[in-house]
Every structure is written in structure tokens, then in C-alpha cells.
Amino acid sequence: MKIDFHTHLTRHTQEGLYTDDASPEYLVSVMSRYSIEKAVVMATFFPHQNRGSGNMKMLDLISESDRFLMFGGLDVERSMDAGIQELRSIKDSISGIKLYPGYQDFYPHEEKMSLVYRLASELGIPVAFHSGETTGEGDFPESWDIDEDNPGQYLHYQTHPSHIGEVAKRFPSLDLVICHYGQPFTKSARDVLNKHPHIYTDVSGLWKTGKDDTEKEIRVTRKALKILAHECDPSQVLFASDFPIQSIEDSIEHIESMGYSTEDKNKVYYENAKRLLRL
């Protein structure tokens, strides 16, 4: 059995992705095919792109299925107070909060973000962060060009995993999730995981299924996944797809490539998310 910790849904026809159908019905059919019991759906707020699927829209979209859990979100830049109030009003309908540094203009460890972390602590739910590459912060270095011996040169990126580590220091009882393994900052993500046992990483969206990935990109991604399995506690790793960006098939292949034992694969596929989501 599996839990997909990171998905997105819409009824709009998708273009340039491996599937043009990102509807709840289609995802449920795929979930059934691959023994996925539940999927976490992320509400989205992308002010600079003037798009997204907010909390109420997403709750309505998933209302007819019990296979979905939702992480709520908010517009940190333009309506923080109203967003906090809305999250509080739907507290019984959300399983976590998803934040989008890089797509929104803030650093995770900014003082103003404490409002979100205190709310999550009060509700007993985790906070997940978009981490690593984004289209919102300009050009990113490729994974194979990262200078792992000089990680400080990348701290100006709002999506750098080390900023989540700073949050962890201030909120040691709050469960936090680094989305996308912080790619391309995977070494920094591992460093943060090893310092803070209440931080998790998902391995979603590591590449865009269906695009012409270079051989080097595939090789570097697979290597980073094997290092994650070798260096970090499997109890901190979460199976996730980022559907419809990365297919369920590719996402399963990621986990199968990491060299985990059967026991550890069960943790990554299911038990870690079950514990984190309090199922």
C-alpha cells in the first residue's frame, strides 16, 4: 500500500505534460492501479503568475472522494491575515499547510511566517515547503553544476533547504517537509534532514515525465536518490509524485532505484506518511 504525499488537481486541460487529464477521477483511477490508498492534494497560490487553486476551490474539487487529503495554503504576500483566518476556518478539512517560497516573495525563516507555524503547531499538522528549483526566482544552476563544497553561495535562493532548517530550530515540535528533495540543493537537504529528525523530504517532481531528459540528468538524479537512501534515515523520506508533473510510474521507479530493503520501502511508501498525517 502507498500514500502519494504530493499531487495537484484541476479540471483544466493540461498542456505540455505527460497527461492532459489532471482531474480527481483520472488520478483515482491511477491510484487504484498502483495500490495508492490516499493522495495529498496541494492548494496553490502563485500571485506573480496570477493563477492557482485556492483552498475553497480545492476542497470542492475533492469533495466527492475519500481518497484525498488536502494541504491548505495562503497568499503570504498580499493577504497573510485573511489567509490565516481562512485556514483556521477550515481546520477540520486540512491535513497540513503548503508554502511556496520562490513562487511567493518570502524566506521560510522570516519572522512574519511564525504566524503560520504557530497555527500549524496549534492544529497539530505539518508544514510543507516548495524547495529547490522554481520558475519564480530566475535561473537555477543545474544539479551537476552545484558546488557542494560551498553551499553558502546559494543561500540567496528563497527555496534553499537550509532556511527550513532555521524554522526547525525555532519550532522543534513542528513537523516540516522539504518538497522535491530540494533539487538541485540535494546535499543541503540531506544535511538538514540529518540535523533535524522532525524534518522530512518528499521525492516528488524530480523530473518532468515525458520531456526529453538528458542522460546526464537521469544519472545525476538517480545518484542523488541513492545517496539519500545511504545517508539519511528512511523514516524521513516520503513517496510522492507531484502529479501531473511527474507520473506515478516514474515516482515508483525512483523509490525502487534507491536500494531500500522491503521494510524501509514500506516506510517510504506508506508508514512515514501515515504517521505524519496521523491516519
Calculate what percentage of the chain has a pLDDT beyond 70: 93
At 156, the pLDDT band (50, 70, 90 cuts) reads confident
Give the mean model confidence (pLDDT) for residues 69-84. Answer: 94
Residue type, 231: E
Instruction: Give the pLDDT score at 7.
Output: 97
* 51-55, 156-160, 179-183, 268-272: range with lowest mean pLDDT: 51-55
Give the mean model confidence (pLDDT) for residues 139-164. Answer: 80
Parse the chain into domains and list their residue ranges: 2-276
Residue that has been written with the C-alpha cell 538538514 in this structure:
192
**pTM across the whole model:** 0.94
pLDDT tens digits, residue range 132-147? 988 655 566 777 677 7
pLDDT above 90 for 38 = yes
Q: Please state, in angstroms and as integers, the Cα–Cα distance from residue 31 to each residue in 2, 36, 249, 276, following that order.
A: 9, 5, 10, 20
Q: What is the mean pLDDT of the chain?
A: 92
Calculate what percentage of the chain has a pLDDT beyond 90: 78
Query: Is residue 235 left, alpha or beta, with left meaning phi > 0 and alpha meaning psi from -120 to 50?
Result: alpha
Give the mean model confidence (pLDDT) for residues 220-236. Answer: 96
One CATH from 3.10.129.10, 3.20.20.70, 3.60.15.10, 3.20.20.140 for 2-276: 3.20.20.140
- Which of 120, 127, 58 minimizes the C-alpha distance to 91? 120
